[in-house]
Amino acid sequence: MGYPVLLLDADDTLFDFAQASAAAFSTLCRTCSLPWSEEHRSLYDAINHTLWAQLDRGEITKEFLVVERFRRYLSRLGLPGDPAECNRVYLEALGRSAVLLPHALEVCRALAQNHRLYIITNAVASVQRARLSQSAIAPYIQGAFISEEAGAAKPSRAYFDYVLTHLSGVRPEDCLVVGDSLSSDIQGANNAGLPCCWFNRTGAPRPEGLRIDYEITSLPQLLEIT
Ligand SMILES: [Mg+2]
């Protein structure tokens, strides 16, 4: 057992964010009487993605992001509506969706037998808490470090310092950061000097200039390296 503490990203590492987001977007369109189509959803996804990348680079705040994504979306399509209300409806629906990625449940169950599992996430706190509590993996997770509550976000060193401070007695080399995002999870582990495992689900090319200690393409491979 090389890494007694596993710091696991949530979205697109354990949870199927694409499915949750698609369901929440449909609920938003129904509730707020907005048109729905695949094209509409793709447009929203693209706007949201751009803003999250800016957040990862520290250029904007989460409070700005969550409303701005709907302001841009409505404005691009010339639709009426209150962006803040759209965000409220969307987040509430997102919190009700706890769809896991393939193998997430069995892998968490197996790892929890001899590791301590924690969630590390930049997601909206209310959504993440709601989702975690109703998820099948809840019994295997010891706690969640949510950026909003930490006062800092991945990939900042301050965020990981907060995590380690709350794991008393745990040394950095005891932890393995596992996540799908190069810009938040892997960059964060590099900033904080923590061992890391990149969950490369899509078979993306390995980037230059980042330390990647392990790379997996499916979650069961984690059982072999932890
Ligand atoms: Mg992720």
Give yes or no for a contact between 206 and 215, defined as CB atoms under 8 angstroms apart.
yes
Which residues, by Cβ under 5 Å, contact ligand 1, an ion?
9, 11-12, 180-181
Domain boundary assignment for the chain: 5-16+100-225, 17-95
Judge whether 5-16+100-225 and 17-95 match in fold: no
Q: How far is the CA of 113 from the centre of ligand 1 (A)?
A: 24
Is the pTM above the cut of 0.95?
no
Q: How far is the CA of 135 from the centre of ligand 1 (A)?
A: 17
Q: How far is the CA of 138 from the centre of ligand 1 (A)?
A: 18
CATH topology assigned to domain 17-95: DNA polymerase; domain 1 (1.10.150)
Structure tokens that stand for 100 in this block = 């896991």
Give yes or no for a contact between 106 and 218, defined as CB atoms under 8 angstroms apart.
no
The CATH number assigned to the domain with range 5-16+100-225 reads 3.40.50.1000
Q: How far is the CA of 99 from the centre of ligand 1 (A)?
A: 14
Nearest CA among 194, 102, 127 for reference residue 154: 194
* pLDDT, one tens digit for every residue, the chain (226 residues): 589 999 999 999 999 999 999 999 999 999 999 999 999 999 999 999 999 999 988 899 989 999 999 999 999 999 999 999 999 999 999 988 889 999 999 999 999 999 999 999 998 888 889 999 999 999 999 999 999 899 999 999 999 999 999 998 899 999 999 999 999 999 999 999 999 999 999 999 999 999 999 999 999 999 999 8
Q: How far is the CA of 118 from the centre of ligand 1 (A)?
A: 14
> DSSP of the chain, one letter per residue?
---SEEEEE-BTTTB-HHHHHHHHHHHHHHHTT----HHHHHHHHHHHHHHHHHHHTTSS-HHHHHHHHHHHHHHHHT----HHHHHHHHHHHHHT--PBPTTHHHHHHHHTTTSEEEEEE-S-HHHHHHHHHTSTTGGG--EEEEHHHHTS-TT-HHHHHHHHHTSTT--GGGEEEEES-IIIIIHHHHHHT--EEEE-TT-PPPPSS---SEEESSGGGHHHH-
Rounding to the nearest 10 degrees, give the CA dihedral for residues 11, 15, 18, 22: -110
Q: How far is the CA of 183 from the centre of ligand 1 (A)?
A: 10
